[in-house]
Structure 1
């Protein structure tokens, strides 16, 4: 893979950074020179090898219909029919970035030269990605076992000029714009099956969601650093000695990042200076050990970060694998039949990511409650209310939003990986539901971002209530200031839903403090 002048060139493994550039950054994509000979060689081999042999999906029906041999004069109709017959999705359309991601994932699969497709199919898919148009793809339909057949069929249908586009929320018939897009005019021997078979939709959604989850995690770290400054925590909860004794599952890495965020803070306390000598009355006014949602951040977020790393490894691996069936293997002089289209690996990864993102929302909700509850924190006005108590209400009602959204996350957190319903005449007798898993994970990440937005609103209020902006670390001060640019101080009550929308959008598009 290479990147040249706002263009990503596919010529090997595709990195997460390059994926992001194309899907979210507006970069174009191009096929690298090594792609052409291997794709053309794969097509030429399949064209010759299929003569007088039975090959699934080339001269047989699909799924349970594979028991039927297809005559030579119906081979092309077979490929068109799998696209047309499987465009049966329902529900709200997938977001444009998910569709663009799915198309890029499918192009990467085909570029590996194991699918036996004509090079013109790749060129058409490349041109469609670069056109900026988005096929209309309903979100319901995939069971994630022969891959994302239904959603990919909607993409393939548009590639043939027969489907619809989604533009600013409106569905537009392809026929009305087909002159503006280079389409795939002629299916050869395998392009129908190769376009719909595999994990490209679940993988694409998963990778976009992973990018958003990583950014949300950085906001969670920033919030956790800030809240310990607001609380005046003792600094030894991040002592390297703790994580030398128990440093697994990402805990040491999270503690190190928190120490970096808090470098130069004037808010944290030195336990040795304050607590080695007990007060004369035997009563400590400052809490000796903070609540777990403050003190145990490395222990809570460490496994989250560890899981994110594992999920990234799984999804990037899937992006660069061939999730197709059967595979064309000229070096074996054979076409190998198997199940690389099965989405269990992606389904499990997305459920793992979903569960730890629920945990991020839960931690944020508990940290928010600490700030809101004056009898718990002992230093802030109720609901970080900077107005007149009883007349003004601060962020009291914003907490309702965070609490209800966290509860929804907890319900959505049940693993989709454990749902398998046999279908397709029991040919697909155990399925992954990987696309459902990816979509639910995406919803949890969005929900958790809303909870995190309320938390950062409250943190900004708390910093102002205590007047500690200048004592924050240089890094957390930048985070506070960036939030304040989107969210002016609340003294007199005002409707806060627009503030929440602005902060949420800011968090989705920016790293903390940037």
Structure 2
């Protein structure tokens, strides 16, 4: 790395992860004050049962009270205030003195979306019908975000109303909020309308109480009564203040962005892993190349890949350069141009993160009360202003950028996986990564799956903002569709996570095969040198080059089928060597003798190295990998216990039908499921932990490397060895 700025995305992603770990471990509540809510705070409340609380700072209570009093004083002057004594939206020409019922009327016309009966029965959905309500974590995030935005003192909301919202969270009461029906223009009116309806105890708004098997769905009125909560009713603007804002979109965007940032970093480690799987020439990651085209994202991706490959014995081009040899001289685009491909989107993701972080601590409703001193503004006037802070285009922009970034990342991983599985592009690995001793299709289906994932991901990439329709009596002629964009981006996150799981599984299988080949070549070379055949050093080199080229070329099935073509390829080189070394008088006999001995060495060595007599170990393979990829490999092989897959011999149906043990056999999809699920938690933590150590984070003056620790724990001490 050439400086702190070149690691801006990795540092930011690592900071989000570290902060979340700290919040989870502290067992302290997330304290809301309207200015300091972070993405990790939202994640902690939404996903990890961390409880929020409202700051007890006396000034916070005062500013909330001032905004309520200012609105009251303003109304006392017989002034018209939108949504307080007028109708809403295109009906704002209506006037009313019944201000409290007006707020209930607001919720009434927004509680209009669909909650299916099966969503109200948490224990009875045997048909696996798709849900029409938001995931609970989305709603929890929206609730804590809305409370934080309203706390800022511009919304004329009483402290006790916001305390009620937080109390619902802490009692594990989560409203059932319809999934569809918001255009995120005058805020996310419908979703927040259901949250506000639950807060007010509407008996026909339903909530989930508790989690997991203990979860129940109840009418909001019953849930509040059972948990000892009470409703204060709504003041003159409080219904509008609760629902007319960006919180659901901003909350979901926070969840999405947190995951997307980690997947973006993971994609760079995956690229390093793919390079190792294909024994690449990675001089394309050299600092010089990127320093002369100094886009920050490009420079960072190259640095991250170099760091992930540090210590790798499976690639050339970094610690050792390749200046001669056979085969494809430069890697294909899917790895070689990864810095140029991903780099610009790291810059977009950082901008998206800043947009979301700003929105979390912004006032986004309407109208707004000027009752709180603000830096750079005149003293508070007590006036009420109508504006458009509810227009959530900042979130739409962030999510459309993020979704396009995910599509580009997925496209790169798709191409890399295809290259690793295909025998014509994977630099000598078996077709479909067949590790067995018979014809098998092993990973062929995963190649098809990746194509399916990529097609869906590409379809999601189109900007949602291009599909805005006029709404609500043409009052909402332009609207952000931020929540729809965030939903689509969450779908993209899910797909890219599946693609990443496939990628990691494929690479883990591939590096095992690569390690087998390297061990095979090493042992053939050693046995040939000790065979007492009188072959010169130059002759030994030519024979090994022939064996390696022939072995790699015959990779369309399994290792057994490589033995004969490799042996056949030896005839011409041996004949030439015999002639060069002056043994022409007995050339035919010598040629047959040499060929017989070397062919026997090739076959004997292959049978001792490859399946079913595998000579490699997890420790051996991990020792060949880079600092960023070894922990992932170890996690998959050791922690998750996902084995090298040998096709039919490891298929539960095949074994079951032949009376063979099948209890520990699983389909590829089941093993892949373990990796995918782990990417939501401990495996991604492993990746982030390796990054933490890899960027030389200093603790008490000592540089800690999570990667070296992982290697040492695995018994390799960072060195080669079988």
Query: Could you state the TM-score of these two structures normalised by the residue count of structure 1?
Result: 0.94
What does residue range 237-316 of structure 1 map to in structure 2 within 5 Å? 237-270=284-317, 275-276=322-323, 278=324, 284-316=325-357
- The reply on whether 1:9 has 2:25 as its aligned counterpart is no
Instruction: State how far apart, in whole Å, the 2-side matches of 1:210 and 1:381 are.
Output: 38
Contact 2:173/2:207, CA 8 A, preserved across alignment: yes
- The reply on whether 1:87 has 2:111 as its aligned counterpart is yes
- The reply on whether 1:63 has 2:89 as its aligned counterpart is yes
Instruction: State how far apart, in whole Å, the 1-side matches of 2:100 and 2:320 are.
Output: 81
Q: Residues 173, 236 of structure 1: CA spacing in aligned structure 2 closer, same or farther, 3 A cutoff?
A: same
Contact 1:370/1:377, CA 8 A, preserved across alignment: yes
- The reply on whether 1:44 has 2:95 as its aligned counterpart is no
- The reply on whether 1:508 has 2:680 as its aligned counterpart is yes
Q: Which of the residues 611, 616, 631 maps onto 1:478?
A: 631
- The reply on whether 1:489 has 2:644 as its aligned counterpart is yes
Partner of 1:499: 671
How far does residue 193 in structure 1 lie from its aligned partner after superposition? 0.5
How far does residue 456 in structure 1 lie from its aligned partner after superposition? 0.6
Instruction: State how far apart, in whole Å, the 2-side matches of 1:249 and 1:441 are.
Output: 25
- The reply on whether 1:398 has 2:446 as its aligned counterpart is yes
Contact 1:120/1:184, CA 8 A, preserved across alignment: no
- The reply on whether 1:166 has 2:214 as its aligned counterpart is no
How far does residue 373 in structure 1 lie from its aligned partner after superposition? 0.3
What does residue range 202-213 of structure 1 map to in structure 2 within 5 Å? 202-213=249-260
User: What secondary structure sits across from 1:465 in the alignment?
Assistant: helix
What does residue range 410-429 of structure 1 map to in structure 2 within 5 Å? 410-429=458-477
Contact 1:461/1:489, CA 8 A, preserved across alignment: yes
User: What secondary structure sits across from 2:369 in the alignment?
Assistant: strand
Q: Which runs of 5+ in 1 are unaligned?
A: 279-283
Instruction: State how far apart, in whole Å, the 2-side matches of 1:429 and 1:259 are.
Output: 50
Instruction: State how far apart, in whole Å, the 2-side matches of 1:5 and 1:138 are.
Output: 32
How far does residue 128 in structure 1 lie from its aligned partner after superposition? 1.3
Partner of 2:145: 105
Partner of 1:281: none
Instruction: State how far apart, in whole Å, the 1-side matches of 2:401 and 2:289 are.
Output: 27
Partner of 2:221: 175
How far does residue 274 in structure 1 lie from its aligned partner after superposition? 6.0
- The reply on whether 1:22 has 2:62 as its aligned counterpart is no
Instruction: State how far apart, in whole Å, the 2-side matches of 1:88 and 1:81 are.
Output: 12
Partner of 2:427: 378
Q: Which of the residues 392, 398, 408 maps onto 1:349?
A: 398
Contact 1:39/1:113, CA 8 A, preserved across alignment: yes
Contact 2:29/2:52, CA 8 A, preserved across alignment: yes
Contact 2:114/2:178, CA 8 A, preserved across alignment: yes
User: What secondary structure sits across from 1:93 in the alignment?
Assistant: coil
Q: Which of the residues 442, 451, 456 maps onto 2:504?
A: 456
Contact 1:39/1:116, CA 8 A, preserved across alignment: yes
How far does residue 273 in structure 1 lie from its aligned partner after superposition? 6.4
Partner of 1:130: 170
Contact 2:133/2:176, CA 8 A, preserved across alignment: yes
Instruction: State how far apart, in whole Å, the 1-side matches of 2:79 and 2:429 are.
Output: 77
User: What secondary structure sits across from 1:444 in the alignment?
Assistant: helix
Instruction: State how far apart, in whole Å, the 2-side matches of 1:274 and 1:432 are.
Output: 52
Q: Residues 181, 361 of structure 1: CA spacing in aligned structure 2 closer, same or farther, 3 A cutoff?
A: farther
- The reply on whether 1:444 has 2:444 as its aligned counterpart is no
Q: Deviations over 1:210-262 (max 9, x none)?
A: 01111212321221111112222223211111111112151111111222212
- The reply on whether 1:155 has 2:203 as its aligned counterpart is no
Q: Deviations over 1:413-441 (max 9, x none)?
A: 11001111111110111111111101001
Q: Residues 334, 306 of structure 1: CA spacing in aligned structure 2 closer, same or farther, 3 A cutoff?
A: same
Instruction: State how far apart, in whole Å, the 1-side matches of 2:427 and 2:195 are.
Output: 57
User: What secondary structure sits across from 1:172 in the alignment?
Assistant: strand
Instruction: State how far apart, in whole Å, the 2-side matches of 1:397 and 1:301 are.
Output: 27
Whose RCO is larger (CA < 8 A, sep 6+)? 1
Partner of 2:385: 336
Query: Could you state the TM-score of these two structures normalised by the residue count of structure 2?
Result: 0.67
Paired residue total: 505
User: What secondary structure sits across from 1:134 in the alignment?
Assistant: strand
